[in-house]
Chains A and B, each alone.
Chain A
Amino acid sequence: EVQLVESGGGLVQPGGSLRLSCAASGFTFSSYWMSWVRQAPGKGLEWVANIKQDGSEKYYVDSVKGRFTISRDNAKNSLYLQMNSLRAEDTAVYYCARDVLRFPHYYMDVWGKGTTVTVSS
């Protein structure tokens, strides 16, 4: 079964750091781009970052550039999101998603259940 399981969320103070993890199983992790997508309480979906299969390309939404770092370990079938200088507006459920890039199409076909990050003093 294809599965993504996020972990690492929690309560953190403004300015603090957190590292999210996503464990992949049931597919060849190293063959896929991967993304993080977040959803603030009661709000819509916001793409945060993605990373190429070999980690050589990474992209971010402007609001997290310089604060968040996406990475992966293909040997461990794992995706990560290092979040520094956290702000209240980063409070959200963070989803890990498998990306399918078949030109010109790029869509997210498998999603984890999410992990909750709360930034508050």
Chain B
Amino acid sequence: EIVMTQSPATLSVSPGERATLSCRASQSVSSNLAWYQQKPGQAPRLLIYGASIRATGIPARFSGSGSGTEFTLTISILQSEDFAVYYCQQYNNWPPFTFGPGTKVDIK
């Protein structure tokens, strides 16, 4: 099973600033990685797949990069609605699909 880790656990950022979230896989997942956003009391929302491909309707301020074992999600200019928990998930080797533990982006 591929283990996903994320850092930091919590990221405190001011609105308008840039946020950089990291995700690491225990072995190569190529570019087969997705990012999801989850707000309190809501279901997850797909942001990125293929490590860097924005899902339909996702604003351009969200960008993903990386391949192999190291990945980054960048939110270029944080908006108030972007404060949430972000999960990475690999789909290179399944089952099982595995998620990282999440990074909470909160207001500084």
- Residues of chain A whose beta carbon lies under 8 Å from any beta carbon of chain B: 35, 37, 44-47, 50, 59-62, 95, 104-109, 111-114
Contacts and interface: CB of A to CB of B under 8 A. Distances in A.
A45 B87 contact: yes
B43 A112 contact: yes
Interface stretch (B13-21, B76-84, B90-98): B90-98
A1 B95 CA distance: 30
Nearest to B31: A104
A107 B43 contact: no
Contacts of A112: 43
Contacts of B34: 107-108
B55 interface: yes
B102 interface: yes
Contact of A107 (B46, B87, B100, B101): B46
A109 B53 CA distance: 13
Summarize A's interface: helix, strand, loop or mixed: strand
Contact of A111 (B44, B95, B96): B44
Contact of B32 (A37, A61, A104, A108): A104
A55 B48 CA distance: 27
Interface residues of B, number: 28
Contacts of B38: 45
B95 A60 contact: yes
Q: Which of B87, B97, B101, B102 has the most CB of A within 10 A?
A: B97
B49 A44 contact: no
Contact of B96 (A61, A105, A113): A61
Interface string B33-68: 010101000111110011001011000000000000
A114 B92 CA distance: 26
A108 B99 CA distance: 12
Given A44-B101, A47-B99, A61-B95, A109 B46 contact: yes
A108 B46 contact: yes
A113 B32 CA distance: 25
A75 B4 CA distance: 37
A111 B53 CA distance: 19
B71 to A, nearest CB: 14
